Amino acid sequence: MTNLVKSQKRMTAKLAALATAGAMAVSGCVSPVAGPSGNYATPIGSAPVTVNPTPYSASLNCLATFAFSNNIKAPRIAVGRILDYTGKADLEGGRKVTQGASLMAMSAFAKAGVKLVERFDTSVSELELKYANNKLIGDSAPEGGQFREILAGSVPGSDFTLLGGITELNYNIRSVGAEAFAGDQDAYDLKGTAGGKMFVINVGMDLRLVETRSLEVVDVISYQKQIIGREISLGVFDFLNGNVFDVGIGGRSQEPIQLAIRSVIERAVVEMTANLYGVPGPTSCLGEDPLSSAGETGNFTLIPPTIEANNAATREEPSRWNDNRDRALKAALRGRQ
């Protein structure tokens, strides 16, 4: 038996041992018996919850600041159903684009300081109205007291309604790629491969703002955004001291499709809200007080109106309220123990 064959057998045995050890190490993180916490395994990941802005969120905050500083009465907006009209779906993964575009639009209007009235999901309100109409809901003692009265005109109406849909999802608008192989003619010499690919897709959306009383369409916007993705790969193949080494590394990344849709919605909401506020352009934000902004997480209201402060100034901090990252919370929890 040649030395090469013996060396290959030893290497095979070592790889098998390493694979077995790795499998046992991984299995050690999972137990068939629940631990003291009541779980079989501890989930990985400790990233804190953060805000979810787009490049247009700051402009929405600017509009909120402008309206607050100039005492502009914001109109009431009702967001209707912004549906997916692309028809694109995976056989196993479901829809390609988000079905929550209406919720993104609500968050965008809230960032701009616009007053919102709920028309998207009124099921709970309608049920409570039904119960109140049957005198089943009381607003005093739970043992039975004054039932809730139904007052005419207690529900504020909307001034405008936002409607529309996601109308485009185009694959592979353009793509480019390159691959290279380099190595000596000798089969035992070092050889390497390298490759890269880039591709572009896009999403499009059509939105309209409707005056609620007259049903007149007062504003229409159609926007699209291109999305880029890339893939890089490197590989090395070599025989070294009778051993075979085949190593490959690579990376793949793509701009999130759903974040692109949120960006399109926020850009459209910026333009529509600027018209409602009478803002000629971004220069109107210069010199305004940033503390009156609604923030990147949406609007905030003092509820009940009698309180004097809320958490609006801190809700964008990634470590806030996180028991692993917030020092103030750790100190408070230690004081309770």
pLDDT tens, the chain, 337 aa long: 455 545 555 666 566 556 655 555 555 567 788 888 888 888 888 889 999 999 999 899 889 888 888 888 889 999 999 999 998 888 777 889 999 999 999 999 999 999 999 999 999 999 999 998 888 888 765 565 688 888 888 899 999 999 999 999 999 899 899 989 888 777 777 888 899 999 999 999 999 999 999 999 999 999 999 999 999 988 888 877 767 778 888 888 889 999 999 999 999 999 999 999 988 777 777 655 544 556 777 766 656 666 777 777 777 888 888 888 888 888 887 766 5
Q: Is residue 308 part of a domain?
A: yes
Q: Is residue 316 part of a domain?
A: yes
Q: Is residue 310 part of a domain?
A: yes
Q: Is residue 332 part of a domain?
A: yes
Cα distance between residue 252 and residue 333, in whole Å: 42
Q: Is residue 168 part of a domain?
A: no
Q: How far is CA 125 from CA 116, 122, 131, in A?
A: 15, 5, 10
Residues 6+ apart with CB under 8 A from 46: 324
- The total of structural domains in the chain comes to 1
Q: Is residue 35 part of a domain?
A: no
Domain that holds residue 308: 300-337
Q: Is residue 317 part of a domain?
A: yes
Q: Is residue 192 part of a domain?
A: no
Residues 6+ apart with CB under 8 A from 87: none
